[in-house]
Structure 1
Amino acid sequence: MRNKLLFGSIVLSLALFTGCSQDNLNNEKQNTNSASENTVTNNGESNSINKEAVKEAIKAAQEYKNIEYTVENSEDVLSEDAVQSRNEELKPFLTESFYTNAVDTRYTTLPLTIADKQKLSIKPENLKFNLVDDKNDIIELRYIVDLVLIDQGDKESKRVPLEGILTLKNVNDNWLVQGDRYDSAAFNKLTKE
């Protein structure tokens, strides 16, 4: 009797475990299929993903990163006028608090500094985003990009893969960058060479 009870418990446990595992596999397959259909995947906690909001945030992030990482090298690339012009160019993409912080810490001048130190122009290539988190009016996107350094003859001199996480906030129906955890190690190397 005792052996039958033990055996029955084991069989029931295995059936329950197998059923749960099968449900998890089906859920993983569904998540994988929907991720492969989009250029964005959801890797984090999310209350509810608003696909349109994520699409708009990615569009804003792409515009911002393309402008941020495009710099024509010149002798006065770090002049006061060039820095001011760069700050004004980036301002529409940033929240007020991040803009103030970015200007104060000279974050906005990092790409200019790279162009100056390397004596090369820079441009982004292969920019891709993955959704990390979506919480109401805040979206976090992981990005990867190749920073391409170009000589005066428009030939590629160097290609540096970068990655980071952008935090965007919805402000008056516009997605603005609230933070950027950029690849500081790669930037430090490029500005020290």
Structure 2
Amino acid sequence: MPTAFELPTDADGVIRGNTFFARQPAQGVIILAHGYKGFKDWGMFPYAASQLSEDHHVLTFNFSHNGVGEDLGTFSELEKFAVNTYSRELADLALLLGYVTTQFELKRLPVYLIGHSRGAGVSLVYALDHPEQIAGVLSWNGVTNLDLFTPEQKEEMRTHGRSHVTNARTNQQMPLDVSILE
């Protein structure tokens, strides 16, 4: 049974997550990072966390500005989604690693990042910048280019200050502010 946690960020956000504690002596800590327009309770994440927690502590979490709010199942914070950046997600990972350090005896437990789609890109960048903290990274269908916006979206953001992207699961028009490009 996972244990919920919340971490307030410096940027008016909250990282909401779950810890799946290892059922056997822990061999390490795994952090699962969702992708663009994703969230911790979507798709395979709960199942994967449960399976991986056989011999690892596993954390699933929502990036603070992914657009999913307190209800955890819908994109109810679209204004946060509108200003989400890679820098913000990297800061979220740093905060999460600080939390993990206080929760687990990391001097003996390696930390691994598993990221899906954009979460894989963020995980790789974080690991490259912090090799002393991260023992390994696994990319699940990771992005091959960190620039996810079309030329039309970029032009609309520059011209009008905002563009939108459709969420195929919810059919919501999710806002993208020009600050993302800056």
Say yes or no: TM over 0.5: no
Higher helix share: 1
Tell which structure's C-alpha radius of gyration is larger: 1
The TM-score normalised by the length of structure 1 is 0.27
